[in-house]
């Protein structure tokens, strides 16, 4: 499946920005998804890059159909809460990035989660990208449909060349919608700006074959930004519905105090604009079928890693 680099930001930002008046409600809910398995080896102190005031959170979307199913990490992003420069940053990690997976050799980044879960994925990210990551949020794709529907849909500018591929995914995505009162399935009939519901937004996020992998990442980011805008203006009385639509599908090693601490950092920022970076850097990467790995992105480490580090730690936004 193909999704969300988007929902994760909600799980962190929406929860941490909730009014104090419903703190008790949130606390009881978060405790149900808190994963104390900080026994994960990769969450130990490392010598990889870190900086005071900058928190990196790994956001993982899995392609599992249920909680028990073994899965790949379908979407991976690093959310950077930069209290030093007072902004938020989102680094999209292409699933086909060609990396060294400890114990498994050179393969696609997306395979690390299936081989060894969070432990191996974190170890792979840290060892390849030289960045210390201490927090994570894992989300199952079922939450995506529920969140978008709770927000009453999002507005997306659908391109003419995306309609056919989008509609190809709609029947399967519609079958994932467990809402018993859902309306009959509806395809997208025209291009341009329009409101998509939960299963339509999921189908839009899954488009992958009519353009590049980086364009796919861009679509997912656009969905995130649109949904984030809706969430910022959500009435207070709708927060419980939003929380209930998210938490059954979430696992995180951040407890309530961690999330509220991050929330205080975000609230101290002048605005909630999110700076973004796609990794690997297309200009310094080669995409194509390589050896037995299938279609992968091979990147120039000497060129790409400094750009990644400057973006996360020095607030330098890469420009082509």
Per-residue pLDDT tens over the stretch 138-160 = 877 667 788 888 888 999 999 99
Q: Residue 20: inside a domain, yes or no?
A: yes
Would you say 51 and 238 are in contact if contact means Cβ atoms under 8 Å apart?
no
Sequence-separated (6 or more) residues with CB below 8 Å from residue 292: none
Provide the pLDDT for residue 38: 46
Q: Residue 237: inside a domain, yes or no?
A: no
In angstroms, what CA-CA distances link 235 with 19, 160, 166? 11, 34, 31
H or E stretch at 304: helix 301-313
Q: In angstroms, rounded to a whole number, what is the distance separating the alpha carbons of residues 8 and 13?
A: 8
Q: Residue 19: inside a domain, yes or no?
A: yes
Q: In angstroms, rounded to a whole number, what is the distance separating the alpha carbons of residues 84 and 64?
A: 36
Which position has the token pair 């400890």?
102
Express as a percent the part of the chain with pLDDT over 90: 32
pLDDT exceeds cutoff 50 at 134 = yes
Q: Residue 5: inside a domain, yes or no?
A: yes
Of 90, 63, 28, 37, the C-alpha closest to 247 is 28
Task: Give the CA count within 13 Å in the CB-facing half-sphere of 171.
Answer: 3
Domain count, the chain: 1
Burial, 259: exposed, middle or buried (Cβ in 10 Å; 0-12, 13-18, 19+)? buried
Provide the pLDDT for residue 5: 40
- The verdict on whether omega for the bond into residue 105 sits within 30 degrees of 0, i.e. cis, is no
Helix (H, G, I), strand (E, B), or coil: what is residue 90? strand
Instruction: Average the pLDDT over 3-32 and give the result.
Output: 48
Which position has the token pair 């080896």?
41
Answer whether 0.75 is exceeded by the pTM.
no
Q: Residue 18: inside a domain, yes or no?
A: yes
Higher-confidence position of 45 and 241 = 241
Domain holding 26, by residue range, is 1-31
Would you say 111 and 39 are in contact if contact means Cβ atoms under 8 Å apart?
no
DSSP lists the bridge partners of residue 4 as none
Q: Residue 16: inside a domain, yes or no?
A: yes
Structure confidence at residue 1 as a pLDDT band (50, 70, 90) = very low
61-78 pLDDT per residue, tens: 775 654 445 555 667 889
Q: Residue 3: inside a domain, yes or no?
A: yes
DSSP lists the bridge partners of residue 62 as 73, 140
Q: Residue 203: inside a domain, yes or no?
A: no
Helix (H, G, I), strand (E, B), or coil: what is residue 254? coil
Q: In angstroms, rounded to a whole number, what is the distance separating the alpha carbons of residues 250 and 120?
A: 19
pLDDT exceeds cutoff 70 at 262 = yes
Would you say 162 and 210 are in contact if contact means Cβ atoms under 8 Å apart?
yes
pLDDT exceeds cutoff 70 at 111 = yes
């Amino acid at each position: 499946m193909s999704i969300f680099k988007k929902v994760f930001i909600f799980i962190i930002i929406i929860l941490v920005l909730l009014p104090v008046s419903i703190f008790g409600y949130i606390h009881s809910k978060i405790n149900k998804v808190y994963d104390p398995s900080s026994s994960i080896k990769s969450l130990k102190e490392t010598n990889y890059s870190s900086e005071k005031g900058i928190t990196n959170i790994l956001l993982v979307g899995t392609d599992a159909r249920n909680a028990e199913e073994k899965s790949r990490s379908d979407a991976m992003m690093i959310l950077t809460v930069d209290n030093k420069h007072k902004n938020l940053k989102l680094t999209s990690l292409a699933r086909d990035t060609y990396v060294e997976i400890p114990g498994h050799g050179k393969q696609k980044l997306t395979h690390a989660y299936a081989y060894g879960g969070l432990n191996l994925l974190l170890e792979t990210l840290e060892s390849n990208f030289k960045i210390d990551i201490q927090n994570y949020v894992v989300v199952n794709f079922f939450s995506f449909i529920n969140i978008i529907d709770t927000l009453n849909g999002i507005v997306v500018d659908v391109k003419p060349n995306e309609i056919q591929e989008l509609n190809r995914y709609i029947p399967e995505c519609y079958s994932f919608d467990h809402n018993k009162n859902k309306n009959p399935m509806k395809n997208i009939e025209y291009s341009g700006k329009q409101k998509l519901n939960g299963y339509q937004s999921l189908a839009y996020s899954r488009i992958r074959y009519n353009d590049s992998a980086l364009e796919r990442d861009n679509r997912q980011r656009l969905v995130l930004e649109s949904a984030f805008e809706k969430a910022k203006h959500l009435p207070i009385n709708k927060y419980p519905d939003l929380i209930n639509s998210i938490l059954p599908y979430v696992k995180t090693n951040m407890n309530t105090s961690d999330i509220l601490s991050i929330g205080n950092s975000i609230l101290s920022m002048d605005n909630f604009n999110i700076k973004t970076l796609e990794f690997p850097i297309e200009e310094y990467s080669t995409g194509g079928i390589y050896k037995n790995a299938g279609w992968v992105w091979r990147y120039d480490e000497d060129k790409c890693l400094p750009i990644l580090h400057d973006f996360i730690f020095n607030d330098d936004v890469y420009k082509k």
